[in-house]
Chains A and B, each alone.
Chain A
Amino acid sequence: MNSLIQSEWQRMWKRKKTLISLILFTAIVLFDCLFLGVQRFGAFDNIHTAPLTAQNFSVFLLKEVSFLLTLIVAPLLIVDSINGEYTAGQLRLVLIRPISFARLFAAKWLNLAFMLLLFTAITFMIGEFAGHLLKPAADSVRYLNPAQVYDRSEAFIYALQSYGLFYLIVLAELSLVGLVSSLMPNALVSFFVSLGVLIGALYISDTLGFFLMSASVIFQLMAGSYAAPFYGPVLVCTGIGFLATMGVWQRRSWTR
């Protein structure tokens, strides 16, 4: 399993797209920092705002770049790894060895999860760094819930928790897009059906709105004002998506 993960990791970096997305993503995040840097207030939603400080900078940065990660970069990486390689026949030589499809998929899932963690962590680090560079530090910070006051270390924990919640959403997305990519005939269709599913989920039920509205859901969740259940749907999406995709891969023929 270990060598399988390693080979999967190498194959992922062999695609130029991975590196290019990482570089472009970092560039856009840096630019977004500049954009936030010239603004004085950050908006939680259409009504509530807060002055931007070094402490809450990274949280507002997440709100700006979350779409880029959830709607473009993540689906692109996932579709390429799970659909692109299989439909282009690149896995033939890998599967000459006696590896089960299920293990291969598990290796892919773990690698993608790690890759997306990398993207999320980069955003967090840039956000914290740029925040301290561009904005004055504040002794106390308030977020969407005005009754809760956070001091500096608590604000750091708040930011860390927000990014953690965002990562949970990304993992749910990984499982869901992985399932779509395993069922669709080619990369192009997978990408657009995935986008459709992620956006359409909002119309099916408010409970599934976290895919599209990740940042505002996280703000509400941290303020304790999020009405719909969160952890249940996220874990169900991650788990069921993973198991169903595993099932699809397990039943595949080796002749592609």
Chain B
Amino acid sequence: MRALFISELERLWKRKLIWMMFAAIPLIVYATARYYAVHNLQVPLDSPEFVTSGNFPVMALIEQLIVVFNLVSLVLLTLSFTEEYRTGQLRMVLLRAFTVGQLFRAKAAAYLVTISLFFAAYLGVSVAVGFQMFDSSETTRLFHHVSPAGPGEVMGYTLKYYGISLLTVVGMGSAMLALAVICHTTTAAIGFGVGILLLSIGYPLVYLTFNTVLNLQLPAQLAFLSLTQIQYEGIAYLLADSSMGPGPYFPLFALAVVAGYVLLCAGGACLAFTRRDRWI
């Protein structure tokens, strides 16, 4: 099993595309920093949106999380689950006495390791760029927090933010994984993957509009059924001071949504992947 995992990891990392994505991190972070440097001129000093070297890693993640990280996750999954499977590259692997279930777990583990590395690399680069391009300050204002935070608290906040973001990206990735397993070609997998991303982005707007206009009186929290909405607003809510958060049940609800995505979609994908015979 360990050998299989390593071979999966090697097969993923032999691709230039993966290296290109990691090489793009400094460019993305730098572009984000340029954007915030201009943005800083328009926001007051005591706003949580004012970027200092302390909160730059979190702000840089907020700006790019929904599009860049979800797309990176989509590419990884499509390469690993659709392309390798459908072009028959896995035939040689399955000559050996591995079950398809083992292969699925090894692939999933390789995906998790790679996407975590991507987050870690992004964090590292954004810390460096933050100190290079922004002034530091004694205290930092955080979203939905009553009082400004000191450096230690900001560090904890940053790590928690990155951790929860990773969980949501993996949740979104589960839905993409299900599509990647079902689709017969890479273009279809990508099309549906980007489609579900756009759908998740559009859903809260549509839901809230219908709710207000048709006066349905449904709870507004249901907008967070979309994982991109959790990525957009929810993570800051999860890390908010208890007096300024959206309510005591929100963390449980958000956890249930992410867990639901992972269990339903990744579980379904696992079933679909392992039920096929080996004559790829």
Contact = CB atoms under 8 A, between A and B. Distances in A.
Given A68-B198, A72-B194, A188-B83, A80 B187 contact: yes
A79 B209 contact: no
Contacts of A203: 31
A39 interface: yes
Given A38-B209, A76-B187, A188 B17 contact: yes
Interface string B193-211: 0110010000000100110
Given A188-B75, A188-B79, A71 B186 contact: no
A38 B214 contact: yes
Contact of B187 (A35, A38, A79): A79
A84 B187 contact: yes
B125 to A, nearest CB: 19
B190 interface: yes
Contacts of A17: 185, 187-188, 191
Interface in A164-220: 186-189, 191-192, 203
A134 to B, nearest CB: 13
Interface residues of B, number: 21
Nearest to A21: B191
A231 B272 CA distance: 49
Contacts of B78: 188
B194 A187 contact: no
Nearest to A67: B198
Interface string B226-263: 00000000000000000000000000000000000000
Contacts of A71: 194
Contacts of A186: 83, 186
A53 B271 CA distance: 49
B95 interface: no
B185 A187 contact: yes
B213 interface: yes
Interface in A206-253: none
Given A17-B185, A35-B209, A188 B198 contact: no
A192 B75 CA distance: 9
Interface string A45-72: 0000000000000000000000110011
Contact of B191 (A35, A38, A76, A192): A76
Nearest to B201: A67
A187 B187 contact: yes
Given A39-B213, A76-B190, 11 more contacts: A17-B185, A35-B206, A35-B210, A38-B214, A67-B198, A72-B195, A76-B191, A84-B185, A187-B186, A189-B17, A192-B190
12 contacts: A24-B195, A35-B210, A39-B209, A68-B198, A72-B191, A80-B187, A188-B186, A189-B17, A191-B187, A192-B17, A192-B75, A203-B31
Q: What 7 pairs between A and B have smallest CB-CB spacing?
A: A38-B213, A76-B191, A188-B186, A187-B187, A80-B187, A187-B186, A191-B190
